[in-house]
Structure 1
Amino acid sequence: MSKRSADAESGGAPLKGGDRPEPMDIDDNKDMGEFEDEFEDEFESEDEILEAGVDGRPDAEREAEEAAAGGMEVDNGTFIVGRNKLEEGQHLAPDLGTYELLHNLSTPWPCLSFDIVRDGLGDKREKAYPATMYAVAGTQAEASKDKENQLMVMKFSGLSRMERTDDNDSDSDDDDDDEQADPILESRSIPLTSTTNRIRAHQVPSQDPSVPGQTFVATMTESAQVFIHDITPHLTSFDNPGTINKPVSTIRAHKSEGYAMDWSPLFPGGKLLTGDNDGLIYMTTRTDGGGWVTDTRPFQGHTSSVEEIQWSPQEASVFASASSDGTVRVWDIRSKSRKPAITVQVSSVDVNVMSWSRLTTHLLATGDDNGVWSVWDLRQWKGGEEKPTPIASFNYHKDQITSIEWHPTDDSMVAVAAGDNKVTLWDLSVEIDDEESKDTAGVKDMPPQLLFEHIVEHAKEVHWHPQIPGTLVATGTEFSVFRPIPVVYGVAVK
């Protein structure tokens, strides 16, 4: 694998892993205790975080203040993309006041991949603080300590909102002591023998509404094996004692490791696709009796590794795959030939990630090795040699795109993570008229659709929380849980 092979300086570790922190002395099946948010130490680079807020002052007034300060180029205002110019000597700086929620926490080893697990605490928990959420992740221990790898079932609780100092903040409640609760990370672990390349959760609803359904987790490992675990006991064990169980199924069809994996959202019982570095895709289905069967006939067509798989959110028999051969291919599982129905060359380099909009189902977003991410209208895809034109394309990130995901309830919002340590939020509905375009000359490298930028060292994956609006979780060297203040986005400068 070219893009995930280690640099000479990284000691042979997969590129996706990044620099590893020292392992922590933690009992993974006990409360991991409180963690600190040492923001002062975490945000030090020049181009760190795009911030929210509005300055509202005329340029002349701001320039006069700078002159009165003795020529020091300091501006504590807010930079609005597409409206303000970044003057020579100015640079972007974080403003923690633009976050409603921000917590960073570490696990014993970095995690290349994670997934959020829906819970029974309710939907649209926009102002429910302190927040609680559940997730699963797979670790990447040092090569010499493979036996320390684990599948982690995690509970984040006590996630309080940022302290508000604005007296005009109508949402603040000074009498609510719970808002300043101490954040806690608890975890349950399932031992694994190798690094987890990709992990995805699937929840099977119960026939009886009073009884919780099952939660299965598929873990695609560096060993080329895919493990399916029933983690329902681990989730319930946070409140009631449970037992650690072995995989309910192990998929051994792959002869090489892989990173592509997705559960069908339209097959409640469980239908899983997995793709490997040989370009092969296998389908595993849960039977009526509760067992798991892997089709021995792979889907074949890619000429290089399969990097991403996404089931159609609308058609139960259709899925798309992205590859390091630069193509996206659309498949129909009913095809006896196991060949793609449509093949489109979307990039001249590796296509690392892909996301299919669940709201506007003809939209597909892709991200490649050059840091370019694009949005495609599938209605324009006819196949053949002619390459379609993306309806939007952005070359903002300075390193490979490592994750991309549509907002679950807003089909104009997209979250993107990249190897340049940035997680960015985008609004595709933003347009600039002729008058506003006069102010964009100094910010040509910042597209007006760029709303917010957050720093996660060695960013690998980002997911919107489906039940806590506007809240995201990202993983890299550590986990970052954050929510920008809603509605207004901008960029702080100093």
Structure 2
Amino acid sequence: MKDKTEKAGEQPPTVDERYTQWKSLVPVLYDWLANHNLLWPSLSCRWGPQFEQATYKNRQRLYLSEQTDGSVPNTLVIANCEVVKPRVAAAQHISQFNEEARSPFVKKFKTIIHPGEVNRIRELPQDSKIVATHTDSPDVLIWDVESQPNRHATLGVNNSRPDLILTGHQDNAEFALAMCPSEPFVLSGGKDKSVVLWSIHDHVSTLAAADQGETKSPGSGAGNSKPSAEGPTVQARGIFQGHDDTVEDVQFCPSSAQEFCSVGDDSCLILWDARAGSSPAVKVEKAHNADLHCVDWNPHDVNYILTGSADNTVRMFDRRNLTSGGVGSPVHIFEGHTAAVLCVQWSPDKSSVFGSSAEDGILNIWDHERIGNWEDGASREDPTSPPGLFFRHAGHRDKVVDFHWNVADPWTIVSVSDDGESTGGGGTLQIWRMIDLIYRPEDEVLDELDKFKSHLLTCS
């Protein structure tokens, strides 16, 4: 959705005006949308495995967190989500939602009492019922969410016991977290300026030590603001030093378990190769003009890496030509946000498409192949639209802290915003799919319109 009101010399619309405009266009722009008002804020949302397929909808696990005010414990929530199939929901149904209600399509299935707030959730691609979480401590916690018992979140209840605790950070590691696509490897970054690598399989050799009571996290005391969780520990396979400030995000190369990248508050993008030691393989200084918050590596074309920053931009780098004169040399700079970019993610379906969300409450969908293509409808209809931008999800009313493309249903996205102050709730979870006329090739759309016209003539 493009904001037509933002013309030269005009004031941009307020959040409420933008939201009202967006809501009126929902039946036109979306194939399906579910709006779920959260009781507590959530900083992360992820799709789990699909477990049931039916005629009109599929059922799938959904992972999210509850960041409470201390009156009840913080939790990791496993929900069952009904995902309506494409071209099933009626426009009337899509348009009728209440911002203050909880969606009937999202039902809580299980609650895990989490030791501390859940800042980040990541699922293991080889087995998506295994998830890793970051909290305000140096450790990474590993959970088998299917075997974990369901717990009631009441004041004073004991924390759930993680299946594994990954140790190695010397200071809090709060956000940077990734799982490897090909091996059961986990990657993390933290305030100790380090990137740490583990293999979940290494727990077999450490179980004996855990049985002897060695469950404390070695080196976890410094900067630890909350008590460590209890459980069997796994020590790091590698600790990688090269950043000069907090590491904010990490990502594996989709084609290699030994190659990965990281970004941080030092404005650097670093590429690493574990086979070559613990020093950077390539260090891109000044990748952005401010702190870097997020990074993603293209699963279809491993030459392309996305970064998002507090300078409000998304940048796309080609790893074959990362720098120019010692400074980051992006292939393109995407300028469609008005506040810090918090999350970037490539589409699992199309190699040139990705999403970006920011503190401006917008989730933008881009296609870098449309840049410079003046046949592109967005460029033709709205020359003020940033190059490559073809959809703007404006359903959130404050910062969109996380989103996740659905691999099982590639154009369906779950997104979560920390908008409790503006909505009167704890935050907003939305599951949505744009209408396919927006992203399908133009010749397909025209062919379908011709068929529709022919059908009308036949009926008349």
TM-score computed with the length of structure 1 as normaliser = 0.68
Specify which of 430, 433, 438 is matched with residue 488 of structure 1: 438
Please name the residue that 1:277 is paired with: 191
Mapped partners of 1:133, 1:277: distance in 2 = 35
Cα distance, 1:107 vs structure 2 = 3.2
Please name the residue that 2:35 is paired with: 104
Q: Does 1:413 align with 2:353?
A: yes
Cα distance, 1:437 vs structure 2 = 11
**Given residue 190 of structure 1, which amino acid in structure 2 is its aligned partner?**
I
Cα distance, 1:435 vs structure 2 = 8.9
Mapped partners of 1:438, 1:458: distance in 2 = 25
Cα distance, 1:190 vs structure 2 = 0.7
Q: Alpha-carbon deviations, 1:265-321, whole Å to 9, x = none?
A: 111xx2111111121122221236746632275211100010110000012210000
Q: Secondary structure at the match of 1:96?
A: helix
Please name the residue that 1:216 is paired with: 130
Please name the residue that 1:424 is paired with: 364
Q: Check conservation: 1:304, 1:324, Cα contact below 8 A.
A: yes
Mapped partners of 2:380, 2:203: distance in 1 = 61
Residues 384 and 154 (structure 1), Cα distance of their counterparts in 2 relative to 1, 3 Å cut = same
**Given residue 284 of structure 1, which amino acid in structure 2 is its aligned partner?**
W
More helix by share: 2
Mapped partners of 1:316, 1:423: distance in 2 = 30
Name structure 2 gaps, 5 residues minimum: 95-102, 152-158, 208-232, 418-426, 441-460
Mapped partners of 2:340, 2:387: distance in 1 = 21
Cα distance, 1:428 vs structure 2 = 1.3
Single out whichever of 252-261 and 193-202 deviates more from structure 2.
Answer: 252-261
Q: Does 1:197 align with 2:124?
A: no
Number of residue equivalences:
374
Mapped partners of 2:188, 2:57: distance in 1 = 37
> Which of 1 and 2 has higher RCO (CA within 8 Å, sep 6+)?
1
Mapped partners of 1:121, 1:282: distance in 2 = 36
Q: Alpha-carbon deviations, 1:178-210, whole Å to 9, x = none?
A: xxx9524123111013111111111545xxxxx
Identity %, equivalent residues: 22
Q: Secondary structure at the match of 2:343?
A: strand
Please name the residue that 1:136 is paired with: 63
Specify which of 364, 378, 388 is matched with residue 305 of structure 2: 364
Cα distance, 1:235 vs structure 2 = 10
Mapped partners of 1:306, 1:230: distance in 2 = 26
Q: Check conservation: 1:380, 1:388, Cα contact below 8 A.
A: no
Q: Alpha-carbon deviations, 1:8-44, whole Å to 9, x = none?
A: xxxxxxxxxxxxxxxxxxxxxxxxxxxxxxxxxxxxx
Q: Secondary structure at the match of 1:334?
A: helix
Specify which of 252, 255, 280 is matched with residue 340 of structure 1: 280
Please name the residue that 2:166 is paired with: 251
Mapped partners of 2:410, 2:376: distance in 1 = 30
Mapped partners of 1:112, 1:355: distance in 2 = 18
Residues 104 and 344 (structure 1), Cα distance of their counterparts in 2 relative to 1, 3 Å cut = same
**Given residue 459 of structure 1, which amino acid in structure 2 is its aligned partner?**
V
Residues 302 and 184 (structure 1), Cα distance of their counterparts in 2 relative to 1, 3 Å cut = closer
Please name the residue that 1:305 is paired with: 246
Specify which of 175, 178, 187 is matched with residue 262 of structure 1: 178
Q: Secondary structure at the match of 1:307?
A: strand
Mapped partners of 2:112, 2:378: distance in 1 = 57
Specify which of 142, 146, 149 is matched with residue 232 of structure 1: 146
**Given residue 164 of structure 1, which amino acid in structure 2 is its aligned partner?**
A
Q: Secondary structure at the match of 1:247?
A: coil
Residues 154 and 353 (structure 1), Cα distance of their counterparts in 2 relative to 1, 3 Å cut = same
Residues 264 and 442 (structure 1), Cα distance of their counterparts in 2 relative to 1, 3 Å cut = closer
Q: Secondary structure at the match of 1:111?
A: coil
Q: Secondary structure at the match of 2:256?
A: coil
Q: Secondary structure at the match of 1:410?
A: coil
Please name the residue that 2:336 is paired with: 396
Please name the residue that 1:71 is paired with: none
**Given residue 283 of structure 1, which amino acid in structure 2 is its aligned partner?**
L
Cα distance, 1:236 vs structure 2 = 11
Please name the residue that 2:46 is paired with: 115
Cα distance, 1:328 vs structure 2 = 0.6
**Given residue 479 of structure 1, which amino acid in structure 2 is its aligned partner?**
L
Mapped partners of 1:85, 1:362: distance in 2 = 36
**Given residue 392 of structure 1, which amino acid in structure 2 is its aligned partner?**
H
Mapped partners of 2:237, 2:257: distance in 1 = 20
Mapped partners of 1:400, 1:218: distance in 2 = 25
Q: For the aligned residues, what is the CA RMSD?
A: 3.5
Q: Check conservation: 1:350, 1:369, Cα contact below 8 A.
A: yes
Single out whichever of 388-397 and 360-369 deviates more from structure 2.
Answer: 388-397
**Given residue 172 of structure 2, which amino acid in structure 1 is its aligned partner?**
S
- Structural mapping, 1:83-94, within 5 Å: 93-94=21-22
Q: Does 1:152 align with 2:77?
A: yes
Q: Check conservation: 1:85, 1:440, Cα contact below 8 A.
A: no
Name structure 1 gaps, 5 residues minimum: 1-48, 52-78, 167-171, 173-180, 206-213, 238-243
Q: Does 1:329 align with 2:270?
A: yes
Residues 89 and 380 (structure 1), Cα distance of their counterparts in 2 relative to 1, 3 Å cut = closer
Q: Check conservation: 2:75, 2:111, Cα contact below 8 A.
A: yes
Q: Check conservation: 1:148, 1:192, Cα contact below 8 A.
A: yes
Single out whichever of 157-166 and 299-308 deviates more from structure 2.
Answer: 157-166
Q: Secondary structure at the match of 1:119?
A: strand
Mapped partners of 1:86, 1:328: distance in 2 = 35
Mapped partners of 1:120, 1:437: distance in 2 = 38
Cα distance, 1:245 vs structure 2 = 6.3
Q: Secondary structure at the match of 1:196?
A: coil
Mapped partners of 1:435, 1:111: distance in 2 = 40
Q: Does 1:185 align with 2:126?
A: no
